[in-house]
Amino acid sequence: LSGIYRKQWIGIERAPQTGTFNMHGSVLKNRLGLGLSVTYDQIGFTDKVDIETNYSYIIRFKDESFLSMGLRGSFSYLQVRWDQADPTQSFDNSIPGGTTSKLLPNFGAGIYYQSKFWYAGISVPHLFQNNIDFSTNPNAAVEPKLTQHYFFTGGLSFDIAKNIQIQPNLMFKYVVNAPFDMDLNLSLVFFQKILVGVTYRMGDSIDALLQWRIAPQLQIAFAYDYTISPLQRYNAGSIEVMLEYCFIKKSEKVHNPRFF
């Protein structure tokens, strides 16, 4: 079980904030993975709730590596409170009145490989476009859509001293007709309990990470993003916190796919 809360661009009115609850595990001798995610996003005067079910088939190899192929089914409930908008032009007929909402179904897929010292994965969380145009004007020139996002991630983990590991990793993000995006991360892990890291998000922010495994079953994490884009003049950065609990025995080994 894990819970994540993120507040973005502190100081900007109606800036994005997100809360996520995740529940996942494996069954049938660790051959099948099952998961559930519930996410609440608030951006401006828009609210969005995502409910996502996840399934993966896991192929395990003798050297403790494995290949996981996953599918996702999701429903998104999007609500826009137009009555809270503050348009620069009065009586703008392109802005609907009151509150409007939509239910958006979708599917996603991904593949992930992890060995003892490295991992790599590629995913498309939403395979289909969703039309989110609330306008009642059939001749409207703007037709907003939720489009496909493509992700590739990879990382390494190796010892540099006794009880100290270094973990570089990266994530590429691609959307058609949008600027290319990338995260570069470098972390140090001490005694398999404390992770300290820094991330560079291309053209956007420099981030500090701290994660502490309080007990084999329990860990907490905190991140702070320092904005380096022109938005720096208007906000005090972004914060994110995570709390995670694993239902395991104290004698069992914890395997976190994000940090080995």
Q: Where are the alpha helices (DSSP H) in the chain?
A: none
Is the pLDDT at 185 greater than 90, yes or no?
A: yes
Is the pLDDT at 107 greater than 80, yes or no?
A: yes
Task: Return the pLDDT at 250.
Answer: 61
pTM of the model: 0.86
pLDDT band at 140 (very low <50, low <70, confident <90, very high): low
Greater confidence (88 vs 151) lies with 151
Tens digit of each residue's pLDDT (9 = 90 or more) over 69-87? 999 999 999 998 888 877 7
For residue 189, count other CB atoms closer than 10 A to its CB. 21
pLDDT band at 137 (very low <50, low <70, confident <90, very high): low
Say how many CA atoms lie within 13 Å of 35 toward its Cβ: 19
pLDDT band at 259 (very low <50, low <70, confident <90, very high): very low
3-state secondary structure of 98: coil
pLDDT band at 206 (very low <50, low <70, confident <90, very high): very high
Task: Return the pLDDT at 47.
Answer: 94
Average pLDDT over residues 164-178: 93
- CA-based torsion, 191, 195, 198, 202: positive or negative: positive
Q: How far apart are CA 141 and CA 259, in angstroms?
A: 45
For residue 32, count other CB atoms closer than 10 A to its CB. 13
Is the pLDDT at 254 greater than 70, yes or no?
A: no
pLDDT band at 260 (very low <50, low <70, confident <90, very high): very low
CB 145 within 8 A of CB 132: yes
- Which stretch of DSSP H or E encloses residue 50? strand 46-60
3-state secondary structure of 232: helix
pLDDT above 70 covers a percentage of the chain that reads 91
Task: Return the pLDDT at 251.
Answer: 60
Task: Return the pLDDT at 243.
Answer: 96
Q: How far apart are CA 188 and CA 186, in angstroms?
A: 7
Task: Return the pLDDT at 228.
Answer: 95
Q: How far apart are CA 84 and CA 118, in angstroms?
A: 48
Tens digit of each residue's pLDDT (9 = 90 or more) over 32-71? 999 999 999 999 989 999 999 999 999 999 888 999 999 9
Residue found by looking up tokens 């593949």 in the block: 111
pLDDT band at 227 (very low <50, low <70, confident <90, very high): very high
Average pLDDT, the chain: 89
Task: Return the pLDDT at 87.
Answer: 75
Residue found by looking up tokens 């992700």 in the block: 151
Task: Return the pLDDT at 135.
Answer: 62
Task: Return the pLDDT at 139.
Answer: 59
CB 170 within 8 A of CB 153: yes
